[in-house]
Amino acid sequence: MPHLSNHPDAYVDEFVDGLLLAHPDHLRLASGAPRVVVRAEPATEPRVAVVSGGGSGHLPTFVGYVGEGLLDGCAVGNLFASPSAEQILAAALETGSGAGVLFVYGNYTGDRINFTLASEMARESGIEVAEVRVHDDIASGPPDDRQSRRGVAGLGLTIKVAGAAAATGAPLDEVRRAASRAADRTRSMGVALGSCVLPTVGRATFEVETGTMALGMGIHGEPAGRLAPVAPADDVVGDVVDALLTDLKPAQGAGLAVLINGLGATPGEELYLLYRGVHRCLSAHGLRVGRAFVGEYTTSLEMPGFSVTLMELDEQTDRYLAAPSHAPVLRLL
Amino acid sequence: MTPAPAQAFIAAARVLVSVKEELGILDGVAGDGDLGASMAVGFTAVIGRLSEADGADQDVGALLTTMGSVLSTTAPSTLGTLLGLGFRRAGRELAGRDRLDADTIARMVDALVVEIALRGGAGPGDRTVLDALGPAAEAARAAADREDPPQVAADAAAKAAEQGAAGTQTMPARRGRAAWLKEHAYGSPDAGAMAAAYWIRGLADALAEGAVR
């Protein structure tokens, strides 16, 4: 799909610029490193700062989650590339209010390296740091090595839990535990019907043949676990939900948060149609949908397709998901 | 007489900038194709910084630290970050050295290996830059133990790096984005390993040229 930009190399700087021009009451740039976006209003009393970061191209993930009850700051990387340790450190320094910083990020090599480095640098500066790494994508690693899995749409829900916990004034270790527990009970899987084009590259870096679905494709176009001809929506979600439930093994009668995520080029109507299939499938398994989220949460530029995320709810996680929050990028009206 | 360390590092950087296209294509097989561009941007900045450095300042440690800092901030890729960290480690360990003798070369490459393995979490055989740097470090150490002249040590390291990089063609990847593209990448060498091999060869050529003069 053709892209609109002024110059491919300026794509990220210009989108960040536009973000700040659109929402000046809520967002501002941190000092100390480029492309670090933080909440415009500082914390009124000391509480844990929740910081994330990652590649551009996945809005609203990551920077779209900067807002009340969500992220305090975010380091914005190049398209599909990790932000630098310096950027992440700048986010921590700018948002810290003396109660420590929680880094929430996805399991990708570059992000792991840079967040780990930033944690060390922050600790050297006297800032207490804890980390929660999200690895919810079941298609990218076996059940006995979940640490190897990629982080995808589960990031948004984990950020929400972390932000809600931090807003209660809880200490760092409690915020970390709440987010980590929620992330640990989260599983996702994506289905792509096509690829996306990086404006800086100008052509698709991988192909999905028309009429084919790539089950388990990653949000940077990492190859699918399996290719199959496009099937009716209910059949597709049936397979996906079965795979997720087999992996997650929720307790009998458990409540689940369900997130249907559009990858960028799938209409809202289809996302709700897909949600219907997921909802019916879960009911057939005797599982209760506690909360539903349908929309674009972790896109991959203009990739056609969707992902399903299931998070098993306990009382605390459910309470945190229900907490009020506000990010200008996420609001409807 | 061997060239000043800064000149050797500049020559090696120039080689990496010159193979931008090739590295980009290799990286496109197993990644998103930006490695060549990233190395070109980073090492062009390195050339700029080292060229403006005072000619009298040939402290190898300081030069390596500068290279590391420049790469960390200008080379927007995982490899750029790892090399930046590696050169900074090497810089700390070689502070005060004023020439690129065999022992300095060996310790420099070894510092790269140690830091990159620590930070990136990869090991030998994972189809990464370490599959070029590891053998290069061993070869350089062996040369240093024999008290070989610097150009001989660097050449041995370059040969080992080139062989190691070629060897990645048949390794399945276990780290990074290449791990997701295991089958596609078979038969094609790892772009990061190739970048390391080119850099060491560039260094070796500069030292050999200086020795002939």
Query: Distances from the Cα of A103 to the Cαs of A16, A73, A234, B177, B206, in angstroms?
Result: 21, 10, 37, 22, 44
pLDDT bin (cut points 50, 70, 90) of residue B77 is confident
Q: How many CB atoms lie within 10 A of CB A22?
A: 11
Cβ-based contacts of A205 with chain B (< 8 Å): 28, 32-33
Q: Which residues of B are less than 8 Å from A151 in CB distance?
A: none
Q: Is the CB of residue B65 less than 8 Å away from at least one CB of chain A?
A: no
Which residue would you say has higher pLDDT here, A128 or B212? A128
- What is the per-residue pLDDT for B187? 79
Q: In the structure, what pLDDT confidence band is assigned to residue B213 with cuts at 50, 70 and 90?
A: very low
Under an 8 A CB cutoff, do A112 and B181 touch?
no
Q: What is the pLDDT of residues A271-301, one digit of tens each?
A: 999 999 999 999 999 999 999 999 999 999 9
Taking CB atoms and an 8 Å limit, are A218 and B73 in contact across chains? no
Per-residue model confidence as pLDDT tens digits over A176-205: 999 999 999 999 999 999 988 888 777 776
Interface contact flag, B180 A84, Cβ < 8 Å: no
Per-residue pLDDT of A239-280, as tens digits, reads: 999 999 999 999 998 999 999 999 999 999 999 999 999 999
Instruction: Give the SS3 label for residue B173.
Output: coil
Q: Find all residues with CB under 8 Å of A268, minimum gap 6, and list them.
A: A262, A294, A295
What are the structure tokens assigned to A192, written together?
């792509």
**pLDDT above 50 for A138:** yes
Percent of chain B with pLDDT over 90: 70
Residue indicated by tokens 């005072």:
B54
Give the model's pLDDT for residue A220.
Answer: 83
Residue A204 C-alpha, separation from nearest chain B C-alpha, in angstroms: 10
pLDDT tens per residue, range B29-51: 766 677 898 999 999 999 999 99
Mean pLDDT across the stretch A4-22? 94
Query: Rounded distance, CA A194 to CA A203, Å?
Result: 13
Report d(CA B202, CA A74) in Å as an integer: 39
- Residue B8 contacts A where some CB pair is shorter than 8 Å: no
Average pLDDT, chain B: 89
Nearest CA in chain A to B71: A84
Q: What is the pLDDT of residues B125-171, one digit of tens each?
A: 999 999 999 999 999 999 999 999 999 999 999 999 999 999 999 88
Assess contact for A51 and A72: CB atoms under 8 A: yes
pLDDT digit string, tens, across residues A295-320: 999 999 999 999 999 999 999 999 99
Cβ-Cβ contacts under 8 Å, A192 against chain B: none
Number of CB atoms found within 10 A of residue A65's CB: 26
Annotation marks residue A220 as catalytic: yes
Q: Does B21 touch chain A (CB under 8 A)?
A: no
Which among B32, B73, B82 is the nearest to A220, CB-wise?
B32
Distance (Å) from the C-alpha of residue A244 to the closest C-alpha of chain B? 20
Cα dihedral angle (B189, B193, B194, B198), rounded to 10 degrees? -160
As beta bridge partners, residue A102 has: A50, A130
ipTM of this predicted structure? 0.76
DSSP single-letter state for residue A10: G
Say whether A135 is catalytic. no
Residue A195: what pLDDT?
87
Across chain A, mean pLDDT equals 94
B33 touches chain A (CB under 8 A): yes
Q: How far is A80 from chain B (nearest CA, A)?
A: 9
Distance CA B203, CA B200 (A): 5
Lowest mean pLDDT among A141-145, B99-103, B112-116: A141-145
- The CA distance from B180 to A225, in Å, is 10
| Rounded percentage of chain A residues whose pLDDT exceeds 70 | 99
CA atoms within 13 A on the CB side of A321: 24
| Whether the predicted pLDDT of B212 surpasses 60 | no
> Residue A2's pLDDT is what?
77
With residue A256 as reference, give the H or E element that holds it. Answer: strand A255-262
Q: Write out the H or E segment, with its range, that includes residue B14.
A: helix B5-18
Which position among A23, A26, A58, A135 bears the catalytic label?
Answer: A58
B78 contacts A220? CB cut-off 8 A: no
- Surface of B (135-174) touching A: CB under 8 A: none
pTM, rounded to two decimals: 0.88
CA distance B74 to chain A (A): 10
Q: For residues A191 and A217, is the Cβ–Cβ distance under 8 A?
A: yes
Q: How far apart are the first and last CA of chain A?
A: 28
- Chain B closest CA to A160's CA: distance in Å? 27
> Which of A3-12, A105-114, B168-177 shows the lowest mean pLDDT across its residues?
B168-177
Residue A115's nearest CA partner among A46, A53, A185, A189 is A53
> What confidence score (pLDDT) does residue A218 get?
85
Helix (H) or strand (E) holding A187: strand A186-192
Task: With CB atoms and an 8 Å threshold, state whether B180 touches A117.
Answer: no
Annotated active-site residue in A3, A220, A285, A326: A220
Tell me the count of A-B CB pairs closer than 8 A: 54
**Mean local confidence (pLDDT), B1-30:** 88
Q: What is the pLDDT of residues A221-235, one digit of tens each?
A: 777 778 899 999 999
